[in-house]
Amino acid sequence: MPPALTPTDFITNPGRGDQEVAPTKKVTLSFKMPLDPATVNAQNILLRDGENGLVDTVVNYDEGTRTVTLTPNQPLHDSSRHEATVTTSLRSLAGESLEEPFTWDFTTADRTPPVVSSHEPPKDAEKVQRSAAVSATFSEPLLPASVSASAVTLADSNGSVDAEVDYIAEKRQVTLTPKKPLAEGTKYTVTVKGGDKGVKDLSGNPMGGDASWSFTTARSATPTTPVSQARLVMCLASAMYWEKYLVTYADKKQWWANFWAIGAAILAATTNVAIWQEFTDAGGLTAKIAGSVVTVLAGLCATIPRILNHGELAGAARTLRPQYGAMIGNLVDLIKIAPNFDREEAASVVHDFQLIKEKKDQLQDLSHKLLGEDGTDLTGVDDLEYAETRILKTADAVKSIEEALRRQ
């Protein structure tokens, strides 16, 4: 019986436990003795991938060098453990074979370059908000050191835009945060550079080429206007005045709301206590009429806060006041850096101030807003004329009550 073939009788390449093996590398076995060519085939020398699946290979044997070569029909998987096996069916010319299968493993290197898998804003997006997030998400983790302001850029027609570039490892995402608000109605282009000076994955593989996309920012509904330091000071003075005045305004409206509510309660209490007690002996009909009149008057009194919107105006004034407070800070910041402030940014702040001022003007206009019984907007109707109309309607209601009681 011929002696057994042992693993020491051949040398493998890659060797056992080798790392960073090129996915395109061929597997070779160099033997000390000649082999039986009939036993050298893909059934007796196997190659499996990381999922234990057989890799389709072509097996060749060079009798002169006594070398077996396994050539995969396609590159091996990146960053994957592979196993090669020599079975007991492989024999030498002398009939020698392994007593048991011999298996060794190696791990392939990462040779796949990273790519941009998604990005925001989308390609050719229009009417993008000037404060919208600009980001790119990659197919695999990146080497943080390769992510820089030179590798990921934002530009308009005038050149690069100064922006902070950050990498969020857990999301595989690069973000760009412009140091100044983006201009309105402007086309911007994001570029992620490839090559040696571009972004790389953890294995050092660079992107195969540059990736870029463009988007266009929205135009403001209100055109920006030139802003001077003097105008900023005027806006600041106005904002400071109204920030303080709105407290007094709200307190006054609340006082009137409370006044009419309390008045209605007093009238209602009078109906149930004083009137009834005084007129009970004088006769049931008189007491009923007096009580009905006071009840109707109490109801009219209770509608006054709603007619003049005292409570709603007080609440609206309190809600509006913090907005003036925040605007004061923005205006002060701009004035501090004048005359070097960005005029477009200043125009945006003044525009925001004007919007708040419009809300305040509307609030004052509502001071005399009247609501009809059906909720109709009666703005512009004279207060006294409207009050007189309500009193006449109340008098008619009292007469109807008196007639109904007399018919009893």
Give the count of beta carbons closer than 10 Å to the beta carbon of residue 164.
Answer: 10
CB-CB contact of 5 with 97 (8 Å)? yes
**Two tokens at 332?**
């002060």
pLDDT in tens, 213-223: 999 998 765 54
Q: Report the pLDDT value the prediction gives residue 393, as an integer from 0 to 100.
A: 60
Average pLDDT, the chain: 80
Three-class SS of residue 251?
A: helix
Q: Report the pLDDT value the prediction gives residue 392, as an integer from 0 to 100.
A: 56
pLDDT in tens, 324-338: 778 887 778 777 776
Three-class SS of residue 223?
A: coil
Percent of the chain with pLDDT over 90: 42
Using the predicted structure, report yes or no on whether residue 289 has a pLDDT greater than 70.
no
Average pLDDT over residues 360-366: 66
In this structure, of 90-94, 135-139, 171-175, 275-279, the range with the lowest mean pLDDT score is 275-279
- 116-217: which CATH topology? Immunoglobulin-like (2.60.40)
pLDDT in tens, 106-133: 999 988 899 999 999 999 999 888 888 8
| 134-138: strand order across its sheet | 116-120, 134-138, 173-178, 163-168
The residue ranges of every structural domain in the chain are 7-108, 116-217, 229-406
Q: Report the pLDDT value the prediction gives residue 149, as an integer from 0 to 100.
A: 92
pLDDT in tens, 33-47: 999 999 999 999 999
Q: Report the pLDDT value the prediction gives residue 268, as an integer from 0 to 100.
A: 61
Percent of the chain with pLDDT over 70: 72
pLDDT in tens, 179-192: 888 888 899 999 99
Q: Report the pLDDT value the prediction gives residue 3, as an integer from 0 to 100.
A: 74
Q: How far apart are CA 215 and CA 383, in angstroms?
A: 55
Q: Report the pLDDT value the prediction gives residue 322, as an integer from 0 to 100.
A: 81
Average pLDDT over residues 169-187: 90
Domain 7-108 CATH assignment equals 1.10.1370.30: no
Distance of CA 404 to CAs 59, 299, 397, 408, Å?
115, 20, 11, 7
CB-CB contact of 127 with 107 (8 Å)? no
pLDDT in tens, 62-107: 999 999 999 999 999 988 999 999 999 999 999 999 999 999 999 9
Q: Report the pLDDT value the prediction gives residue 365, as an integer from 0 to 100.
A: 58
- Higher pLDDT residue, 81 or 396? 81
Average pLDDT over residues 253-265: 72
- How many helices (H) and strands (E) in the chain? 6, 17
Pairing of strands 211-217, 125-128: parallel
Q: Report the pLDDT value the prediction gives residue 373, as an integer from 0 to 100.
A: 40
Residue for token pair 């196993």: 83
- Higher pLDDT residue, 95 or 287? 95
Using the predicted structure, report yes or no on whether residue 195 has a pLDDT greater than 60.
yes
| Residue 353 one-letter amino acid | F
Using the predicted structure, report yes or no on whether residue 239 has a pLDDT greater than 90.
no
- Higher pLDDT residue, 96 or 379? 96
Using the predicted structure, report yes or no on whether residue 270 has a pLDDT greater than 70.
no
Q: Residue 125: left (phi > 0), alpha (psi -120 to 50), or beta?
A: beta
In CATH terms, are 7-108 and 116-217 the same topology? yes
Q: Report the pLDDT value the prediction gives residue 100, as an integer from 0 to 100.
A: 94
Q: How far apart are CA 371 and CA 366, in angstroms?
A: 11
- Higher pLDDT residue, 344 or 331? 331
Pairing of strands 102-108, 18-21: parallel
**Two tokens at 13?**
């390449």
Three-class SS of residue 81?
A: strand
Q: How far apart are CA 136 and CA 391, in angstroms?
A: 69
CB-CB contact of 250 with 314 (8 Å)? yes
Three-class SS of residue 148?
A: coil
Q: Report the pLDDT value the prediction gives residue 215, as an integer from 0 to 100.
A: 95
